[in-house]
Amino acid sequence: MRYRFAPVLACFVASIAFGAFNHAAILQEAANEMSDDYMQEWAYTETSIESEMHTVGRYDPRQTKGERWQLLSVDGRTPSTEEIADYAEEKEDDNGSSSANDGDHDVSDVAEPGSMRLIEETDDYWLYSFTPVDDDDAENFMKHIDATMKIVKDGPYIEYIDMHSNKPFKPQFGVKVKEFVTRLMFGPAANGGPIVPLSVDVRIKARAFIAIGIDESMSVSFSDYEYVGD
């Protein structure tokens, strides 16, 4: 059984803002609202649907290492002792291998310079489009992806980031991506609480070397945030 998602990664992806005209300071402020240390002070429930497996777990930073993640259910049933142990181990490994931000959110790691564009503004929010950065692991991939980011003015904070392909593309030899869709949503953990991940949805359809078909989707939600700090 594999439980791969680490919410710290969502924070890393979402901690972006890009200097664009007079909106530079607002964008940076919105990115800085993302909490870097919420996992030290907030307990929460994580519900995941991945590869047709539905899991519900609870994270509590007050517990000792190895006990912080508790698997509550698998496909609606009580999990086995082995499943509980595997879940706790893999979630600890995921969080331990994910480097937390230091509060200095470098937008150049995510948005291509000069790509941020204001496409809509209302009394409540700004909506931007941007081109995601191609890093070493995503070379020739992100240039085929359109991305948007909504910033709520009352904060300000990032409410969501959408990334999707508009047509099939070939990021490398032998691989054709038919569909790629990702949405990350964020909001206050509670009234007056820090900005934290609320959900992540990913879908990808692809084919590798003709014979290998890929049709994967993942949906993870984070709920029932509870402040447990000092």
Buried b (16+ CB within 10 A) or exposed e, 179-202: ebebbbbbbbbeeebbbbbbbbbb
Judge if the upstream peptide bond of residue 188 is cis by omega within 30 degrees of 0: no
Q: Are 60 and 40 in contact (CB under 8 A)?
A: no
Query: Can you give the pTM of this predicted structure?
Result: 0.80
In a domain, 19, yes or no: yes
Strand partners, 201: 183, 219
Q: Which two tokens stand for residue 100?
A: 């937390």
pLDDT digits (tens, 9 = 90+) for 148-160: 999 999 989 999 9
> What pLDDT, on the 0 to 100 scale, is given for residue 137?
59
In a domain, 116, yes or no: yes
Domain presence at residue 229:
no
* Model pLDDT for residues 181-211, shown as the tens digit of each residue: 999 999 999 888 899 999 999 999 998 887 7
Please tell me the total count of domains within the chain: 1
| pLDDT value for 10 | 44
Closest by Cα among 164, 117, 124 to 144: 164
Domain that holds residue 46: 7-224
Residue 110 lies in a domain: yes
